[in-house]
Every structure is written in structure tokens, then in C-alpha cells.
Amino acid sequence: MGSDLLDKGYEPHDVEHRWYEFWEANDLFSAEDQGPRRGYALVIPPPNVTGVLHMGHALNNTLQDILCRYRRLKGDNVLWMPGTDHAGIATQNVVERKLAQEGTDRHALGRERFIAQVWQWREKYGSAIINQLKRLGASCDWKRERFTMDEGLSRAVRKVFVELYHQGLIYRGNYIINWCHRCHTALADLEVEHAEIDGNLYHIRYPFADGSGGITIATTRPETMLGDTAVAVNPADERYHGITATAVILPLVNREIPIIRDAYVDMSFGTGGLKVTPAHDPNDFEIGRRHNLPSIKAIGDDGRMTGEAGRFAGLDRFECRKSVVQELQETGRLEKIEPYRHSVGHCYRCKTVIEPNLSRQWFVRAKPLAEKAIAAVKQGETRIIPEIWANTYFDWLENIRDWCISRQIWWGHQIPAWTCEDCGELVVAMQAPPDCPKCGGAHLVQEEDVLDTWFSSALWPFSTMGWPEQTPLLKTFYPTAVLVTGFDILFFWVARMMMMGLHFMGAVPFRDVYVHALVRDEEGQKMSKSKGNVIDPLDIIERYGTDAFRFTLAAFAAQGRDVKMSEKRVEGYRHFINKLWNAARFALMHLDRRYDPVKLDELCLADRWILSRLNRVSLEMAQALDTYRFNDAAAALYGFVWHEFCDWYLEAVKPALHGKLAPAARERSLGVLWRVLHDTLILLHPFIPFVTEEIWHKLPGTDGSIMRAAFPGEAAAAAPPPPDPEAEARMGLLIDVVSGIRNIRGETGISPALNLDAVVHPADDAAKAVIEQYRDMIVTLARLRSITVTDSAERPKASATAVARGATIHVLLEGIVDFAKERERMEKELGKLAKDFASIAKKLQNQDFLAKAPAEVVTKVMDQQRELLGRQQKIQSNLDKIREYGSAS
RNA sequence: GGGCGGAUAGCUCAGUCGGGAGAGCGUCGGCCUUACAAGCCGAAGGUCGCAGGUUCGAUCCCUGUUCCGCCUACCA
């Protein structure tokens, strides 16, 4: 009591800053490279260095932090490896935009100076998201923070590239890839987002070269005809069996191109004629290879038409489409235009329409790597949770195609390959070779392209731990315990980490993958800037405090269901934080030291009960977190703190604490109160770290940070008393009796200020003993003036009755209450019972049920029937008496 | 085109052996009871999407169906 008294309401702001600094200053997030404790590691899904914290990050990192803090309390050596990735395209875009504002561009600067600028940008702004994670309370081992472009991680990237190349798993070649004209780079198939678009289907007539007729083809991209090198029909298509022409004249260009026959062509589509543009369509590319067709690149890498497009050269591709259509119309080659809805690829970074484009790129041969990644999950070396995602994972890996890893940008890991200008030899090596190993020439030029950012993040679980060195860190923490991530990067990242981890470490990168849901808005819509429904996590934190926000996220993080976020929900959990705060405030008015371990046999019922419940809740919570059921853990704690600890326990022991009972009773209850608060804070700490740390320091007898505390039942902690079913049952009886009286009071509209007289008739001796022993508790909690325990089943005159498990309660209402109301109440109660009774009776009348249902189920139902019947009879007889009384009065 | 998920109280959602439907919020009624009005006490509210089937018994298992959402796919 005294100076340490808590404020009336919890104010998160100062508290959060103060304790985060304290944790960092005291090195409480640090893992030990090695040691006797069990290693438990997570690697953070590295946010883009350009990123700002959004709801997805908040959920993802809150869940990870809960696991980390929980495992620390359990005694593990926890490593949460933080960092960011260099986000090649995104970061380059940001810096290019900045240059544009300054009236220059990267080409004017040149590669080296541009990259220097990006590094500068990173120095200045790159830690924004890290600081935001700290606001969230993330207990990452910040001293180990990594960046995918760090020297160590870059060495790992080069090593992986070189080895895969020499193993034949990386190759270079001319293929159709996805080209973003705005970002000016190739993209992997995964990086293309498909969206349905209302376009047109243009039907164009290609005349036969011999003048005997023509073929009509249909296309959604008429401008690509400038690069056509054939027209194809299906060999089985009878419509084209009679034709003698072997070539057509390409309209506008007047180039003669062959008519070929290929089974790929769908006879049912349009006229069955297909224009073939090997340089601008993946299928056409394959057809071209089968028929040795030339490839003509009509659209350049800058999105403008090339010299191959003749008079259209230099036009933007979409401008060109208009011109081509217009000219086809004018020359009568355009048969019709029909509206056509089809799926079009867009760049996942800038949403520009992707153009399939022929170019020379580097690829990872994915199949052999994928096979190992599939097997590891099939054999259970890595578990995917919830399991439903395993199917998605298998499906993608089983149909995986080679991965285009080269990007035509500057910011990233430059590909460690050199070409000899003298003899053309390609050298792939960790370092720049001094001269050509083949011809000895000194003119080696490094490949200009850089690697896909995902190539480096695929190595994250081991590159961050010092690989290719065999570090103690790797030994202690690889494979990591769990990867926590959203399903949106299951393929981008998780599958690729699996492939690389298995290939280079010979072991899976993580034992578990916990896949969580998306955070949506209140209406279930995906949050997006264009919809204007984005909720900024930092705003929420500012307004409601980090703890309330984290608890909300955890409480809604049910497996397989998206999290719908709204301020109102956070507000609700802020009330919970405040409730805890005030419970602690109350406790601290009485607690003034550390209390000795409790002696069970001396305790009162409420004390024994709350300890038993505490024990069960700690088990429940541990089990829930061990199986990634965050919402179950949160709900168990919420219910325990509010509805058991606050609503019943604190109220029950108030008389003792206020000194209304013997001093010894006060001491015993203080000991239990201390213990329960102490342990409850520990249980809550993973979810709401700040407020628990704050209260922890106010609680007498605690030592240092709550982060260093031991989970109830762990070696360093005092073992909690075992569950006590007897205490739970007895307390349940008292709760029922009190609730029965409160119900009468509420339903009949008696003022809470009025102290009532009650007569209780226990069902048996055991119940009688409990009620007599704890009559004071009933008096206090039910606000009675007196309580009489009687063996008589006789109902006192002018009373209202409640039937609890194990006791009948009469509240004397002479002159207090309107008996019409009381009669109504009893009739309602009777109606409810009748409904329940009917369903049970129906069951018991069913011979099949009696014959076929398991014996214990039948017994149970019969017990239920007996109990219902008893209640029904008591209420009925009371009702009869009320009717008498009512008519008499 | 293929695949997956959801549909339970006014709202958001739990419900993992098939055995009397739960929580939070909201609503209604009553309370400033010396931790908390960000609170306390009480209450109302559900054909568990629809139609079949299996079963003694179905929110749960099976089949079909409707609506919503998502992922995937090279049909011009």
C-alpha cells in the first residue's frame, strides 16, 4: 500500500516505451550461440526494406512474439532472427522516383553511383519498419539483425549460385519470360498476377499467298501480328484438309508466312486458325520450336515497337494496337471485333500489363529440388499447420516450372558469371576470375543482371546464421522450430526455402510451418489503399495501446479463418487490459511482500478453487500454444482473469482481505492472491508484454524482468498445486446458490441495496456442510441480511425460489415483491424445463436408443432426466403455493 | 478450366470421439456495492445455408445444391 498504488486507469504510452528500452538495455532478447538449454529458433519473414508496418506484419509478428516469449518462459534458449530483405524491384523503384524528382535518372548516374544512392537511401529510411516492429513489442534478437545484401548473406548467395550452376541446376537460355515494361525486367511466373479484363477478340483475315482464299484468325493482341511467323491449324481439322495453299500473306506487313499444322490448335475456337508469334507468346514459342520457325521481336523491352514492326516502329504497344486495328479496318482485313473477357497478367510490383517476351535469362531447374521439398513434408520432417495448406504446397511443387531468377535491374546480387570477350567462354565463380580459363584472355565482363530477391530470401534460415561457415549458431538453431507466415508467400518463399534448405543444409529449414490468415477490414474486404479501408496498426497502437492490439490479434487468430479487424474490437480488449490493471491495483492495496508457498490444507474453499483453476488454465494455455491455437489460449486467459479471478475470487476473499475475518485467514488468502496474480501475469505476458511487465515490477517480491520468470510448473518455478476437482465442485455449488439468489433479485426487480433473507435447503449432507461452512461467503456475494440452512423441504410463506445443483433456495419476499411477477418468473422457468425435459424423455422412450447407445450415454441421459424432474417438481410445488398465497393476499 | 475455404445469436466468430448449441461485442432491465461506469448484477436472443442420405441419435459423417471469398491455369 502507499506510494506504489496504481493509477485508476491504465495508460499505455509511457509504460510501453519505458519497458521496451529496459528490455533492450538488459539484453533480454538475446539468444546464446550455444548452451545447455534447448534451442528454439524462428527467422522473421523479412519485411521489405522499403516497407511500412501493415496489419499483415502486425499479426505475423505478434504471433511470433507470443511464441518466443512463451518459449523463454518455458526455459528455452530462444533465437528470433530479425532482418529485412533488399526488395530489388521495389527499392529500385523508390530510389528511381526520388531521382526523377531531382530531375535525373539512374542511367545518368551510372550503375555504381546509383547503387551507392540506394545504400544511402537504405541507411536513412531502411530501419523504419524495424522501429515499427519494436512498437509492436517484438522481442527479436536485434543485435543479430541481417539484411539480404549484407556481405555474409551475399557470399551465401554467390556460393549457392555457383554450386547450383556447376550441378547443372542453374542454366542460361533464350526463353519466353514475363516482361514488365515499366520495371524493365523479367519476372518469374509467380510474380505475375492474373486479372480478368474486358478486352476484345479481333478476327483478322490472312489471305493465302496463292490468292485462293484465306484463313481467319482471332487474337486479343492484334499488334503482335507484326511478329507473326506462321499461321497454324489443327491437322485433324477437316475445314483445312482441302486447301492447297502453303502460305499466307501477313496483312499490313505483306510478309509471306507458312501455314503449319500443329495439334496444339483448338479446333473449336473461332475458325480454328491460330496466328503464331513465337517471340511474344509462350505457346507460340513452343510451336515455333517444334516447327523451326523464326522468332520476330516486334515489341521491344521498352514497350515500344521495334524496327521489325516496320512503319509502326517506335509506337507504344497500346498505341500500336489502335493503329493496327485502324489499318486493318481500312484495308478490309478486319472481319469483326467482339467483346471478350479474358485473364491478363500484371506485374505484382507495379500492376503494369505483362508482355510475354523472348529474352536470354537465367533459370533454376526446379524439378529435382522440388521433389525433395515434397518428400520432406510427406515424411513429416516439416509439418504444415493447418494441414489444409499442405495440399496447396504439394500441388504447386508437383507442377513446378523452371524459375527465372535473373532481373534486369541494378539493385541486387549481381550474377557471378563472366563472359570472355575474346573467346566467348562463360565462367561462373565466387570471385571475378583474373583471366579466361579457356583462352587466357583478360577481357572478362560480368553479367549485368542481378538475382531475384527471392533467390536470396530462399537462403534466409541458414544464411542469417552464418552459412557457408559451420557456425555454432547453425548447430544450435538449425533446423528452426517454426516458420510463421501468411499463405500469400507459401510459394514465393516457404517452398523455396524448403528446396534450398534441403539441398544445401541436407535438412529442412523448419520443423513446423504455421500458416496464418489474412487481416481484412470489418466487412471482410482485403485492405487496400485504393479502397481506402486500410487501418494503420500504428494508429491503433497509439490510440489503444500495443497490448490491447496484440490481444485482439491473438484472440481473432483462429486457424483457417481471416482476421477481421476493427477499432471496436480493439476497444473491447482494451477494457480487458484495464480490467487486469484494476485487479492488480486492488491486489496491490493489500500485498506488501513476497508470500511463502501456500499450504493447501489450511486454505479456504475460494483459495483452493482459484489455485485449481489457475493450474488448469496454465495447462490449457500451454497446450493451445503448443498447437498454434492462439485464439484458444487468449480466450482461456480472458475468461479466467475476468470471470473467475475478478468476478468470483476477488469478491469472495474481500472480507478476509478487509480484515473482517481472522488475521490468519487474511494471511492465507494474501498468499494465494499473490501467487495467483504472480502466475497469471506470467501466463499473460506473451500476449500483453507491457502491462504485465509494469504490474510485475509493482508486485512485491518479484525480481527483475518478467521475461526472466519461469512458466508455472517449469523447473525454476514453484510447482502449482494440482487440479482439485473437489474444490471445484464445492465452489460450483456456492456459485450456483449465489447466482440463484441474484437471479431472483434481478428478475423480480429488487434493489441491489436491499439485503435479503434467504432459507437454503441442501439436497444432501455434503452440500449442507459446504453451505454451512461458507454461509458468510453466500451472505456477502448475494447481499443477504441472513441465511438459514434448514433440513425442511417446506417452502416459507411469501418467498421466491431458485433451484440450484444441490440446494433449493428461498428468498423471503414478504412485503418486498409483487407476487404476480414472481409467478411469472416461475412459469417461465417451468416452461424452459419442460422443453429440456421433452427432448430427454423422447430419447428415453426410444427403444433403439436404449438398446444401441453406449451404456454410459444412457446413464448420463437418465441422470439428466432425474435432475430435471426434481427441479421441475420443486418449482411446480412452489408455484402452486405462490398461487395460493397470491390469491390469499 | 481445376482446386480450396466459409455459411452457427443482431454483429464477429469458437465448437478436433456423432450424445442436452457457446464466447466476445451489441441489445434490454437494474445498479456510482470503498479495484475497475473502460465497471457490477440480471435477462432476452439460434430450423447451426437449403434438400436428401447414413445412424438409436447429425452443427459434426456422406451426396447433391445455393450464395460468398480465395488460390491456381499458356484456350488464342
pLDDT of A816 reads 73
Cβ of A852 near strand B (under 7 Å)? The reply is yes
Cβ of A629 near strand B (under 7 Å)? The reply is yes
Alpha carbon separation from A499 to A295, A403, A773 (Å, rounded): 34, 12, 67
Cβ of A645 near strand B (under 7 Å)? The reply is no
Q: A209: burial class by Cβ within 10 Å (0-12, 13-18, 19+)?
A: middle
Q: What does pLDDT average to in each consecutive run of 10 residues of chain A (889 residues)?
A: 62 92 95 93 92 88 95 95 92 90 90 93 89 94 95 95 95 91 88 85 90 88 92 88 87 90 86 90 90 90 87 89 91 88 85 89 92 91 88 87 92 94 91 88 91 95 95 95 89 92 96 86 67 81 92 85 80 92 94 81 90 91 91 92 94 91 88 94 96 94 92 75 88 92 86 89 92 93 92 84 85 77 79 80 85 87 83 79 60
Encode A797-811: b = buried (16+ Cβ within 10 Å), e = exposed: ebbbbbbbebbbbbb
Q: Are the CB atoms for A669 and A656 separated by under 8 Å?
A: yes
Question: For the whole model, what pTM was predicted?
Answer: 0.92
Dist. CA A708–CA A484, nearest whole Å: 24
| Beta-sheet strands, E only, within A110-253 | 146-147, 170-180, 185-187, 192-207, 214-219, 230-233, 247-250
With DSSP H G I counted as helix, E B as strand and the rest as coil, what are the percentages for chain A, rounded to 5? 50, 20, 35
pLDDT of A605 reads 92
Q: How far is the CA of A256 from the C1' of B22 (A)?
A: 75
Cβ of A858 near strand B (under 7 Å)? The reply is no
Dihedral sign, Cα of residue A451, residue A454, residue A455, residue A456:
positive
Report which residue type is found at A172. R
Alpha carbon separation from A159 to A170, A371, A431, A499 (Å, rounded): 13, 22, 10, 15
Cβ of A71 near strand B (under 7 Å)? The reply is no
Encode A648-662: b = buried (16+ Cβ within 10 Å), e = exposed: bbbebbebbbeeebe
- Strand B: which bases are under 7 Å from protein Cβ? 3-6, 12-16, 19-20, 23-26, 29-33, 35-44, 55-57, 69-76
Dist. CA A253–CA A202, nearest whole Å: 17
Q: How far is the CA of A84 from the C1' of B64 (A)?
A: 50
Dist. CA A563–CA A584, nearest whole Å: 30
Cβ of A646 near strand B (under 7 Å)? The reply is yes
Which residues partner with A446 through β-bridges?
A418
- At CA A287, angle to CA A283 and CA A293, rounded to 5? 125
Dist. CA A610–CA A730, nearest whole Å: 12
Largest CA distance in chain A: 122
pLDDT of A820 reads 75
Q: How many helices (H) and strands (E) does chain A have?
A: 29, 29
Q: How far is the CA of A39 from the C1' of B6 (A)?
A: 38
pLDDT of A685 reads 96
Q: How far is the CA of A523 from the C1' of B66 (A)?
A: 22
| Beta-sheet strands, E only, within A224-333 | 230-233, 247-250, 255-261, 273-276
- Omega into A45 within 30° of 0, i.e. cis? no
